[in-house]
């Protein structure tokens, strides 16, 4: 099964989970199962609309990213222009993040308002071939509309978590007897939603690696870049109070404990590198 089909299946399961939880909550608190389902579908729709139109602006602002032109950094600007041309998409905006931690990400709901952002650190860490591979990976995200998919997945997961918290709050101040099965469902639902969101994120990363290697025509360069970025981000992680945007970056930029790694938004770098090296061996012109 391809990664797009797998992502679609995981996404459908999350939507079903969201509807079922709304159905249960509606019946328990409102006495109307259908009303509960409709209520939380409306909540999800509003949250998705906000994420759709404003998430990219919030992400750029949260990392102090500055949109640049060709004169401000010809190397970065022209490499983005080159991979966008080779991918057959409109030239995205280019931004620089003032951070010594080497990393990059793409954001924006579609090609018309897409932004490819790179940190100052990545410009000093990678050579041109490696940087081109990373930028091709980010352009691959734009082609696959991954930013939109992940924004919706994150919104649904957040909505399910919100629903569960609301239930716990209501139960604290309510004397109504609660079915133990309902309690278990409220505990497991947010965990399940987060796991599904992370699974979607990992699938999209593998897809962007493949697309980036095809665009740059150099899987080995992207593999080398991932190895360097993984090592440097572990040595010098970004310092931030909020790690909610970690899934956007090409490698996790934040410090992670062993427990957190179990719920990582990125697949293991070793596996990504292995797939790219295998892909390179199948390139007839390599």
* pLDDT tens digits, one per residue of 36-50: 667 767 776 777 677
Which residue reads 């091709």 in tokens? 136
Beta strands in 50-107 (DSSP E): 66-68, 93-97, 104-107
Q: What amino acid positions are annotated as catalytic residues?
A: 138
Model pLDDT for residues 172-201, shown as the tens digit of each residue = 666 666 666 666 666 777 777 777 777 777
Any bridge partners for residue 104, and if so which?
118
Residues near 64 by Cβ (< 8 Å), separated by ≥ 6?
Answer: 97, 98
Domain ranges of the chain: 3-281
Give the rounded percent of residues in the chain with a pLDDT score beyond 90: 42
Compute the distance between CA of residue 251 and CA of residue 166 in angstroms, rounded to an integer. 33
The pTM score is 0.78
**What does the alpha-carbon distance between residue 38 and residue 207 come to, in Å, rounded to a whole number?**
34
Q: Give the neighbor-by-neighbor strand order of the sheet with 93-97.
A: 66-68, 93-97, 115-119, 104-107
Task: Compute the distance between CA of residue 151 and CA of residue 7 in angstroms, rounded to an integer.
Answer: 14
For residue 105, what are the contacts with CB-CB under 8 A and spacing of at least 6?
59, 116, 117, 138, 245, 248, 249, 250
Looking at residue 286, its pLDDT comes to: 45
User: Residue 6: what pLDDT?
Assistant: 56
Contact indicator for 250, 161 with CB cutoff of 8 Å: no
Read off the pLDDT of residues 238-262 as tens digits, 9 standing for 90 and up: 876 455 667 789 998 887 654 455 5
At 275 the pLDDT is 96
- Other Cβ atoms less than 10 A from the Cβ of 120: the count is 16
Q: Within 10 Å of residue 134's Cβ, how many Cβ atoms?
A: 28
pLDDT, tens only, 59-92: 888 889 999 999 999 999 999 999 999 999 999 9
Taking a C-beta distance cutoff of 8 angstroms, is the pair 216, 136 a contact? yes
The token duo for 83 is 């991979």
Beta strands (DSSP E) in 120-207 are none
| pLDDT value of position 42 | 77
Containing H/E element for 4?
A: helix 3-25
């Amino acid at each position: 099964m391809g990664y797009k089909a797998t992502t679609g299946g995981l996404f459908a399961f999350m939507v079903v989970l969201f509807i079922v939880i709304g159905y249960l909550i509606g019946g328990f608190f409102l006495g109307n199962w259908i009303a509960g389902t409709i209520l939380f579908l409306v909540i999800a729709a509003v949250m998705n609309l906000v994420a759709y139109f404003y998430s990219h602006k919030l992400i750029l602002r949260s990392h102090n990213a500055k949109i640049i032109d060709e004169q401000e950094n010809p190397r970065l600007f022209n490499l983005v222009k080159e991979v966008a041309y080779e991918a057959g998409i409109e030239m995205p905006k280019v931004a620089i993040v003032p951070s010594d931690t080497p990393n990059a990400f793409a954001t924006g709901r579609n090609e018309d308002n897409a932004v490819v952002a790179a940190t100052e650190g990545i410009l000093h860490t990678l050579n041109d071939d490696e940087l081109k591979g990373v930028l091709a990976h980010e352009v691959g995200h734009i082609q696959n509309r991954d930013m939109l998919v992940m924004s919706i997945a994150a919104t649904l997961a957040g909505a399910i978590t919100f629903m569960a918290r609301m239930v716990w709050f209501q139960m604290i101040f309510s004397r109504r007897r609660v079915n133990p099965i309902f309690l278990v469902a409220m505990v497991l639902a947010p965990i399940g939603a987060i796991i599904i969101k992370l699974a979607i994120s990992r699938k999209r990363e593998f897809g962007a690696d493949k697309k980036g290697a095809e665009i740059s025509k150099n899987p080995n360069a992207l593999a080398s870049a991932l190895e360097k970025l993984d090592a440097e981000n572990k040595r010098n992680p970004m310092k931030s109070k909020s790690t909610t945007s970690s899934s956007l970056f090409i490698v996790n930029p934040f410090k992670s404990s062993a427990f957190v790694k179990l719920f990582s938004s990125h697949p293991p770098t070793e596996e990504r590198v292995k797939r790219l090296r295998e892909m390179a061996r199948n390139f007839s012109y390599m």
